[in-house]
Amino acid sequence: MRAPHPAKLFLKLLAPRLPQMLSTLRNFVIVESPSLEKSAADRCNRIVSAEWRKRDVRVERIPQRHRGDHLRITWWPAKSRPSGQLLVLGHYDTVYETGTLAKTSFRIAGGKVYGPGTFDMKAGIVQAVFALDALQQSAEPLRKRIVFLWTSDEEIGSDSSRKLIETEARSSDAVFVLEPSFGPRGLLKTARKGVGEAEIIVHGRASHAGLAPERGVNAIHELARQIARIQEWKDLPSGVTLNAGLIEGGTRSNVIPERARAVLDLRALRIADMQRLERRLHALRPTLPGVRLEIRGGFNRAPLERKMSATLFQRAQSLAAQMGLSLGECTVGGGSDGNLTAACGIPTLDGLGAVGDGAHSPREHVIVKTMPARAALLAALLQSS
Ligand SMILES: [Zn+2]
């Protein structure tokens, strides 16, 4: 008789554990963890750490001054010598400030589990905990050491965790990101746009609009021209977008304004497009005589190009098929820490976390019955890597 497929075996182990998965999720969600409130985030970190400490793993808190501490968990079976490293990546911070839970509580209804941070992405952390349990029960030896990294500031740009993420990624052979999947079918995110922010600051010359118009240089007029120009760089089919999301300048209508400023959101699907966009922005020149332009910023996260996920996705698909599930993929406009690891040249598969909807909103939820299979998928990916 042929041995059962590993993913199916993991699912068999994990399906009966759904009640524990839900109670662990509850423990993680009822301690709020806003990115910007260190003491609250640290409280959540302690709860998440405690859950991992119940297992035979090394748990390290990586102290931060202004943000919640990051959490690194390492596991490899002592009997074998690891032949490499796999990184499982995610964040425990949420976009919700303390007190949100009083308005949108943790609750289970109609096959969905609701609560701030359930979908993005505390259920992902829960699935990883139980994937580890399944791996620890499996007779099949693991080839690689596994590092689980849970950071505290993904929702605000990962300033304090970026170096750590990149260092761990560089010592890894593959990265599995437990950010939420997409849509009701739980599509994995095999490509993500790179994301940036830039500022155009125009310095003109102030003057009286009525008495000495010839002596002024209007910074707002110049900015309007620049914005009209950069709008033409947008290329939707290629995934290049620019959005002037904030604009300011001037004091009153009879003063020729000496300063104006626009803040732009930048996105691109390909690294080459990102670089071209940055070059073009910094090459902008004034159109009105007497104006000085100042350009700041650029891309913060490079695109996660599909080629960085392709091989891992194929494997995920065939492992999912072992459980009778068809796994799809998608491209999304938003970035994650998966963009950082892919930019290090490490194969990265993102969107492996929860199936649900409503991230960053009071409707945030996870589809309960999907949790064991997603945990099993992760276990099977880790074991076969
Ligand atoms: Zn997230």
b/e for 61-98, b at 16 or more Cβ within 10 A? eeebeebbbbbbbbbbeeeeeeeebbbbbbbbbbbbee
Beta-bridge partners for 262: 200, 247
Ligand 1 centroid to residue 202 C-alpha, Å: 35
Ligand 1 centroid to residue 209 C-alpha, Å: 49
- Residue pair 173/86 in contact (Cβ under 8 Å)? The answer is yes
Ligand 1 centroid to residue 95 C-alpha, Å: 9
Ligand 1 centroid to residue 67 C-alpha, Å: 16
For the segment 11-48, what is each residue's pLDDT rounded down to a tens digit? 999 999 999 999 999 999 999 999 999 999 999 999 99
Ligand 1 centroid to residue 249 C-alpha, Å: 34
CA 122 to CA 26: how far, in whole Å? 9
Per-chain residues with Cβ under 5 A from ion ligand 1: 120-121, 179
- Burial class, 102, CB count within 10 angstroms (exposed 0-12 / middle 13-18 / buried 19+): exposed
Ligand 1 centroid to residue 291 C-alpha, Å: 42
CB atoms inside a 10 Å sphere around CB 379: 29
Ligand 1 centroid to residue 69 C-alpha, Å: 17
| Tens digits of pLDDT across the chain (385 residues) | 455 678 999 999 999 999 999 999 999 999 999 999 999 999 999 999 999 999 999 999 999 999 999 999 999 977 778 899 999 999 999 999 999 999 999 999 999 999 999 999 999 999 999 999 999 998 887 889 999 999 999 999 999 999 999 999 999 999 999 999 999 999 999 999 999 999 999 999 999 999 999 999 999 999 999 999 999 999 999 999 999 999 999 999 999 999 999 999 999 999 999 999 999 999 999 999 999 999 999 999 999 999 999 999 999 999 999 999 999 999 999 999 999 999 999 999 999 999 999 999 999 999 999 999 999 999 999 999 9
Ligand 1 centroid to residue 91 C-alpha, Å: 7
DSSP secondary structure, 338-367, as one string = HHHHHHTT--EEB--S--EE-TTSTT-EEE
CB atoms inside a 10 Å sphere around CB 346: 20
Q: Which residues have C-beta within 8 Å of that of residue 161, sequence separation ≥ 6?
A: 67, 70, 91, 151, 152, 153, 154, 337
Ligand 1 centroid to residue 363 C-alpha, Å: 15
The pLDDT of residue 139: 81
Ligand 1 centroid to residue 8 C-alpha, Å: 28
Residue 183 φ/ψ region, left for φ over 0, alpha for ψ in the -120 to 50 degree band, beta for the rest: left
- Burial class, 28, CB count within 10 angstroms (exposed 0-12 / middle 13-18 / buried 19+): buried
The pLDDT of residue 44: 98
- Residue pair 47/129 in contact (Cβ under 8 Å)? The answer is no
Ligand 1 centroid to residue 154 C-alpha, Å: 7
Ligand 1 centroid to residue 178 C-alpha, Å: 8
CB atoms inside a 10 Å sphere around CB 3: 7
The pLDDT of residue 77: 79
Ligand 1 centroid to residue 184 C-alpha, Å: 17
Ligand 1 centroid to residue 337 C-alpha, Å: 9
Ligand 1 centroid to residue 367 C-alpha, Å: 17
The pLDDT of residue 4: 65
Rg, C-alpha atoms of the chain: 24
Ligand 1 centroid to residue 336 C-alpha, Å: 7
Ligand 1 centroid to residue 115 C-alpha, Å: 14
